[in-house]
Chain A
Amino acid sequence: MTQMSVPWRPRGKAKFDGPAGMVAGGAKTVFAIFAPFVRAFPGAIMLSAVFGTIVAVWAHYLLFEVVDIALIGSTFNIPANTGLLGGPLTVEEARSALTQIGAPAAGFLCYLLYPVQYGLVRDLVAAGGILGFISVIPLYTIWWERKVAGRIQSRTGPMRVGGWHGWSQSMADGIKLICKEDLCPAGADKPLFKLAPYLAFVPAILAFFALPFGTYWVFRQLDVALVFILAMLGIEVLGVIIAGWASNNKWSVYGAMREACQMVSYEIPMGMALLIPIMCVGTLSLTTIGDTQSGGWTSWIVFRSPFTFAAALVYYIASLASCKRAPFDLPESESELVAGFHTEYSGFRWSLFFFAEYAAMFVVSGLLVILFFGAWYSPLPLLWADGLGESLPARAVKGVLFAGPIWFIAKCVFLLYVQIWLRWTLPRIRIDQVLYACIQVLLPLMMLILLGHTFYELLVPVGGVVWTLFNLILSTIGAVLMIGMLFVATYGCWNRVRLVGNLGRELLPGS
């Protein structure tokens, strides 16, 4: 009897300990409870999730406004997080205020809205919202990336697992990742190895705390929000470097060094590109920069001058590099470095890196949207909404049609889509070409743009003939590009051809 001892075979069941183990156990229990429902009503759950998100978003939005108007008695010119004005209201005062503005079920609402007047409650709600958003965004971006990739590659993407078009595939993946064994290589620097994913993930969350989703939709309205977000994106690289170093794997070190090198180089043109909107508006506060672009799509900073247009392009390229997306995905290029800096990671820690990456993708897209593409405003000028009045339904219409976080998220998702599109179309660049593109091309170009924009702002009067002409030409180009893309997409969607045939199938025996 030769019982070969296999040293690498895990003995017994995988052991879970620490917070990851608790999460895994909890997830298993939750999944066991909900799995029958998910299996039974996948489509209904999907739809209700989408509508539920929208309703939750709008309820939240209206809630704050009602509190501001009815309870505190001010218009919402006061930023939502400034806390109390004139001391807290009692429940009775709240009820009478609500009755005055004619809110329905004032007796019930007053209890519901009473805690919202406290800053801490608002912060908790907002933090919960952000954490929820950060958890949901990667899941759905990954799912969507797989679907888009499938379409690009003439296949369907996930279909089998998770209901309608595999919408819950990412959740299944997430649960699988949480349940996986938390491995740490023998030669690794254990404390650093365990710390690194959090070092990558936490800055990504922190960046969201300063990223406005709407004029009042921001956790902390920082005057230096732009600098703060850039700093947080810069700290993320630290986690990657530590992960690469602590793994005790040469491929990981390669990935980490590439990431450091790429990030440090591309932050220069990226930062310079971000100077352009600051020069236009004169502030580092993202909310203010966003609010200057409320006059329809011609007022978006990207169409302001040829230099802002070019700067937006440069920023987009640099942002691809800074969040390691193709064609700049060298730190984790699987055909060269196995998996780059996260080669040795598994399970929950690995998924933290992915959460950080997708969160960073969203943040850089969000920055581009706020700084160049009209922030949370629709292409329609906000002035047109003035006739709607201030009633709650009118506000909802305004939020859907003219301004609001839905517009912001929609624009970000479109830019995410472009990132996905590029990833599944382009090959990967080599490291020397990456650095060449940055130092020899983007950096001088950006310097010229900066110089040019300075003189443009100085010499060309705003509203003058030259200014208006350039503005109109660029806005037209933008509109034509967008409409053309929509047209192509619609045309392609209407004329879909089933490419995978069954050419030789009919010859098979039994067919």
Chain B
Amino acid sequence: MAPEKICDILKQRFPNAVTAAVLDARRPYATVAAEQWREVATCLRDDPRCAFNMLQCISAIDLLEDNRLAAVYDFFSVPIKGVGPCPRLKHHFAVRVVVDRDNPHIPSVSDIWPAADWHEREAFDMMGIVFDGHPDLTRILCPDDWEGFPLRKDYEFPTEYHGIPATTEHQLTNPRH
């Protein structure tokens, strides 16, 4: 199904949720308000016209110029024989949820798509987006006591971690040999 139609379905069911939509780009997506994201997500999964049963990826991005963070959700509808509402669909769609940089809270969808579990943990780990309602929102790639969110554009690298020098400047000024 074309992305325009999917966007129309969402706009029709949630008039206030879809705040913007980029449909003629290389990768069409709709921007959804964080408050209504769970309802929209449920609709995307359960509506037989959408039937996005597979959450491919959650990419957290840092929109520093807007002072915002965003999570981009990519969906596929995978035809399963006998399972799911619509077995014939084979389409792709993306949703962007933009939140304020100072208070980045997005409702978790890990119960809607279990695949979101680790992706949300990664987004939290790397970009500091807090997914409300996530069962175990801890760091996944970085150590548990790591400070800061490395993929934010204003992230400053620590000079050392538990005595391990972490930057080249540190190594240059403190030669080990």
A interface residues (Cβ-Cβ under 8 A, vs B)? 1-4
Contact = CB atoms under 8 A, between A and B. Distances in A.
Nearest to B165: A2
B164 A1 contact: no
11 contacts: A1-B174, A1-B175, A1-B176, A2-B163, A2-B165, A2-B174, A2-B176, A3-B176, A4-B163, A4-B164, A4-B176
B142 to A, nearest CB: 21
A304 B113 CA distance: 67
Contacts of A1: 174-176
Interface string B149-177: 00000000000000111000000001110
A55 B3 CA distance: 89
Contacts of B165: 2
Nearest to B176: A2
A3 B174 CA distance: 10
A117 to B, nearest CB: 72
A504 B163 CA distance: 48
A324 to B, nearest CB: 39
Nearest to B174: A2
Contacts of B176: 1-4
Interface in B1-20: none
Contacts of A4: 163-164, 176
Q: Which residue among A1, A2, A3, A4 has the maximum number of chain B CB atoms within 10 Å of its CB?
A: A2
Nearest to B163: A4
In order of increasing CB-CB distance, the 7 nearest A-B pairs are A2-B174, A2-B176, A4-B163, A2-B165, A1-B174, A4-B164, A1-B175
A328 B165 CA distance: 48
B159 to A, nearest CB: 11
Nearest to A2: B174
Contacts of A2: 163, 165, 174, 176
A27 B66 CA distance: 74
Contacts of B175: 1
Nearest to A4: B163
A2 B164 CA distance: 9
Contacts of A3: 176
Nearest to B164: A4
Contacts of B164: 4
A2 B175 CA distance: 7
A4 B176 CA distance: 9
Nearest to B170: A2
Given A1-B174, A1-B176, A3-B176, 7 more contacts: A1-B175, A2-B163, A2-B174, A2-B176, A4-B163, A4-B164, A4-B176
A1 B175 CA distance: 6
A2 B163 CA distance: 9
A4 B164 CA distance: 8
A3 B175 CA distance: 10
A2 to B, nearest CB: 5
Nearest to B171: A2
A4 B174 CA distance: 12
